[in-house]
Amino acid sequence: MKAFVLDRYGKKETLRAAEVPEPELREDEVLIEVHAAAVNLLDAKLRNGEFKLILPYRTPFVLGHDVAGEVVRVGPRVRQFKVGEAVYARADDFRIGTFAERIAVKEVSVALKPGNITMEEAASIPLVGLTAWQALLDKAKLKKGQKVFIQAGSGGVGTFAIQLAKYLGATVATTTSAGNAALVKSLGADVVVDYRKEAFEERLSDYDVVLNSQDGKTLSKSLGVLQPGGRLISISGPPDPQFAQDIQAPWLVKQVMRVLSFAARRRARQLRVDYSFLFMKANGSQLRQITALIESGAIRPVIDKVFPFEATNEALAYVESGRAKGKVVIKVR
C-alpha cells in the first residue's frame, strides 16, 4: 500500500512516499481503508523529535493520527464493527500511521462516523475533539456559568473547544487575529482578544479555566488570569510529574519532567491555582458522545484546506506555518 514514511527525525526532514506492507491486524483491531486523514501540529512535532521522551518511535515509521474511512476487515475479538461501516478514530499511540491507504486501530478507539458530515470533515475531528473533551470535561470539570479562556481560537483545537465550552454553558474568551474574529464569534466566543493589538493578561481576569496551547511565556501570563482555585490545562507542555506517573515513565524521564514543569508549577502554587499537562488519548466512547453533538448540530467541523494524498508534505508545511483556520485534511481516497 502507499504511505508517507518518516526516515529520520529532524525539522527539515520530509516524508517519503513509499510502498509499505499492509498493517498486521491484531485480534482486537479493525482494519480501516483510509478515505481522509487530518494533519496536526503533533505530526510536525513528532517529525522534529520533540516528543521522543514521551513517544520514542523507531524510524522509519508512518505519520498521521486522525482517520475517517471504511472498515475492510475485523479481528476475531471485534464485536462492535462490521465490514463496510464508515468509521473515524484517533489512531492509538505506537500504532499511528494514517498517512497511508490502510491502518489498523483498536476497536475501543473507533466510533461510527457522524452521518451528517463528509469523510474529510470526520477526519478533522478526532484528535482535536478528544483533546478539547479531555481538557474541558475530564480535567477541568467545566460547568455551566464558568469562564474559560481558550487560546488560539481559530486553530484546530480552538475551533472545537470554543463550541464545546459554549455547549457546556460557559462564557468563552479567546485570542485570534482581527481577520479571524468573525469566525470565532460564529463558533460562540464571547470575548475576542486581538493578540496583535491587545495583551490578553490585561483584559482578562478571574477566569475558572485556561486551555493553554502556546509557549511558556504565554503559559506564565495565563496563570495570572485565573481566580484562586482556577485550573490551567496545557496541551503544549511542559509535562508534569502526574503525567509522568500516568504513563509509567522511567525514573530518569520522571525527573526530567519534574524539572521541565518546575517553574510553571511553582508559579501556579504562588497564585493558588492548579497546573496540569494533557496529552490526549484515543477513546472511542468519547468519540461516540462527540458524534451525538455533531449530529445534533451543536458542533460543526471547521476545515481550512483539503490537500490531495500526494501533497502530504505540503499539507504538513501548511499546518506548521500557523496560518490554518480550523483543520487541514488529506484526501486519500
**CATH code, domain carrying 232:** 3.40.50.720
Q: pLDDT tens, 138-176?
A: 999 999 999 999 999 999 999 999 999 999 999 999 999
CATH of the domain at 20: 3.90.180.10
Same domain, 25 and 120: yes
Q: What is the per-residue pLDDT for 53?
A: 86
Q: pLDDT tens, 102-143?
A: 999 999 999 999 999 999 999 999 999 999 999 999 999 999
Q: What is the per-residue pLDDT for 278?
A: 97
Q: What is the per-residue pLDDT for 304?
A: 98
How many structural domains are present in the chain?
A: 2
Same domain, 160 and 171: yes
Task: Flag whether the pTM goes above 0.95.
Answer: yes
**If we measure between CA atoms, which residue out of 150, 156, 187 comes closest to residue 172?**
150
Residue 219 lies in a domain: yes
Same domain, 257 and 137: yes
Same domain, 269 and 326: no
Domain extent, residue 234, equals 128-277
Q: What is the per-residue pLDDT for 269?
A: 98
Same domain, 132 and 272: yes
Q: What is the per-residue pLDDT for 292?
A: 98
Q: What is the per-residue pLDDT for 282?
A: 98
Positions of the chain with pLDDT lower than 70, given as ranges: none
